[in-house]
Structure 1
Amino acid sequence: MSDYVTNAHTIALVGFGEAANAVLAGWGLGGSGRVSAYDIKTDDAETAPRMRSHYTVAGVRGADTLQDALAGASLVFCLVTADRALAAAEAAAAAIEPGTLWLDGNSCAPQTKRAAAEAIDAAGGRYVDVAIMAPIFPMRHQTPMLLAGPFAEDAAAAMTAMDMRVDIAGETVGDASTIKMIRSVMIKGIEALTAECMLAAHRAGVADAVLQSLAGSDPGRNWPAKSAYNLERMMVHGARRAAEMREVAATLDGLGLPSRMAQATAEWHDQVARLGLPGGEAELDSRARRILDAL
């Protein structure tokens, strides 16, 4: 088995946000000289200096172009936003080296992943549908992931050698992402329901009574703490979650089912994200009040 951590393989990270930084830290490869990274923020004169500084601090070789990041890479983790995943794959097809594993960990509809696979595979790469099935923190590179596609076995061998936790969902691209997308109807939907319920409760001045009633119905859940956490997810990561939920809606549409909840969830995440608020203190009342003040 080829060990991508201890052997001299070059790993490329396409997208250098929270997920990429988390897995990089988990591998312990910062400063190794073996990891390149490219983020689209490098293309923007306003955001480029900060991103280049980020590359330096993380100990990766920051690339000014996607083509530069892919040069010599035998393993690529694509961790951009859901609405950029297909464009990233299509752009990479012009530069990816034959046999390179392209691990698409973006939260996309199965049909989006199949389109990305066509681009990568036609260029000689090996596309793998990757679904990240839990928050990337605190487990980082050991966060459970599902793999699918004809090259899933190859990816599983490489990722297991890097101490990653993976399971194969199927041999067809889209098998992993379908599970992820349908799960997100519940997970991200609950976050949006939290916002609608708790913001209304605080504005009406009945938050304590509502929380007390919820605790009576489900005493095993810490409603204030979980609600505060859900609001923080939307405040900090709402834009990315909204993009994911639009892919969820596309998944449901492809199944011939209504996507009303998914669409409404995307709208809530987008609206909270656009406020540009930091998570701040991990306290429900504070977060709810700050969101209400900004709406």
Structure 2
Amino acid sequence: MQLGFIGFGEAAFEMSAGLKQQGEVDIVAYDPMWNDATFGPLIKERAEKAQVRLQKEPEAVLSQTDILIVAVPADKAYEVSGALKPFLKQNCIYIDVSASNPTVKQKINDNIRGNGVKFVDAAMMGPLPVYKHKVPILASGSGTDAFIELLSPYGMDISKVSDNPGDASAVKLIRSIYMKGIAALLLEMLEAAHHYHVDELVISSISETMNGKSFEDTMNRLVTGTSIHAVRRAAELAGSIDMLESSSIDSTMSKAAKDKLDLLSRFNLKEKFHGKTPSRWLDVIEALQ
């Protein structure tokens, strides 16, 4: 199999290294920084280690492969698609693994359309240094079925989301709202707990609350309960914010949570639900529409 990379940073390097260990794969790559005084040596070192043939022009990569993985920064992904379009081979599979948002992925799909080119919006859902080419990937777009058929035999873990470009990235970015948000919230909570010397008590109390149920059950309980108690819970957070600020501890996350609860309270969901906690989180979301 012949595979091409545009952009040879950490993602392309780790995937290439893993694929080379898996089987007979001929990999070529181009990175615009290949001859840069600062980053060039690292790119060349990685290419040699992963047994990847570096090219001096992107056209050289495109002329040699029907499977192209574009691994460039999100803010460059659309621009790069325009630069590559004139050189894409007929029936090429164009796989964009950037962290671009769904709208950008849709624009890239529209930009390269023609000549039988198939597009894949690929969202990598784990750390590349750990998983290498076996990193779980969510994929959507017209080329997804071919992507799975061609690369799954080499150990790649690809799950189809849909035929719509952007859907895979939507899952990843929406998931990040929670994963990145909860990390930031934990940092704020732990800083306060440590400042007041109640670390173990706070962690133990939260653990007792969270460990007894599944994530789905806890999520449902928190969302449905908050829908009718938003005013009271916002007021309690105001006290938390005052406590943090009096101790010169940053309260960014607590303020954001209070703002969200204040916004939620304007929907008068307690009245809409007649004071009774709804049974499903979906009832709350639909009530906000």
Q: Is the 8 A contact 1:24 1:30 kept in 2?
A: no
Per-residue Cα deviation, 1:120-159 (whole angstroms, up to 9, x for no partner): 2246532111122333353332222222122222222112
Q: Is the 8 A contact 2:161 2:168 kept in 1?
A: yes
* Corresponding residue of 1:47: 39
Q: Distance in 1 between matches of 2:7 and 2:120?
A: 17
Is 1:182 matched up with 2:174?
Answer: yes
Q: 1:104, CA displacement in angstroms?
A: 1.2
The correspondence of residues 1-295 of structure 1 with structure 2, limited to 5 A, is 9-28=1-20, 34-42=26-34, 44-122=36-114, 124-199=116-191, 207=199, 210-218=202-210
Q: Match of 2:160, as an amino acid?
A: I
Q: Distance in 2 between matches of 1:213 and 1:40?
A: 52
Q: Distance in 2 between matches of 1:200 and 1:37?
A: 48
Q: Distance in 2 between matches of 1:16 and 1:83?
A: 16
TM-score by length of 1: 0.62
Q: Is the 8 A contact 1:107 1:131 kept in 2?
A: yes
Residues 1:210 and 1:89: Cα distance change in structure 2 (over 3 Å): farther
Q: Which moved more, 1:51-60 or 1:116-125?
A: 116-125
Q: Is the 8 A contact 2:20 2:51 kept in 1?
A: no
Q: Is the 8 A contact 1:94 1:123 kept in 2?
A: no
* Bigger Rg, structure 1 or 2: 2
Per-residue Cα deviation, 1:30-80 (whole angstroms, up to 9, x for no partner): 996711122333263322222222212221111223223323111111222
Question: Percent identity of the aligned residues?
Answer: 29
Unaligned runs of 5+ in 1: 1-8, 221-259, 265-295
Per-residue Cα deviation, 1:146-204 (whole angstroms, up to 9, x for no partner): 22122222222112232222222112212222222211211222233234444555567
Q: Match of 1:139, as an amino acid?
A: Y
Residues 1:96 and 1:207: Cα distance change in structure 2 (over 3 Å): farther
Residues 1:45 and 1:213: Cα distance change in structure 2 (over 3 Å): same
Residues 1:204 and 1:169: Cα distance change in structure 2 (over 3 Å): same
Q: Is the 8 A contact 1:147 1:170 kept in 2?
A: yes
Q: Distance in 2 between matches of 1:91 and 1:29?
A: 32
Q: What's the Cα RMSD here?
A: 3.1
Q: Is the 8 A contact 2:23 2:154 kept in 1?
A: no
Unaligned runs of 5+ in 2: 213-251, 257-289
Q: Which moved more, 1:159-168 or 1:106-115?
A: 159-168
Q: Match of 1:138, as an amino acid?
A: V
* Corresponding residue of 1:284: none
Q: 1:109, CA displacement in angstroms?
A: 1.4
Per-residue Cα deviation, 1:236-271 (whole angstroms, up to 9, x for no partner): xxxxxxxxxxxxxxxxxxxxxxxx99xx9xxxxxxx
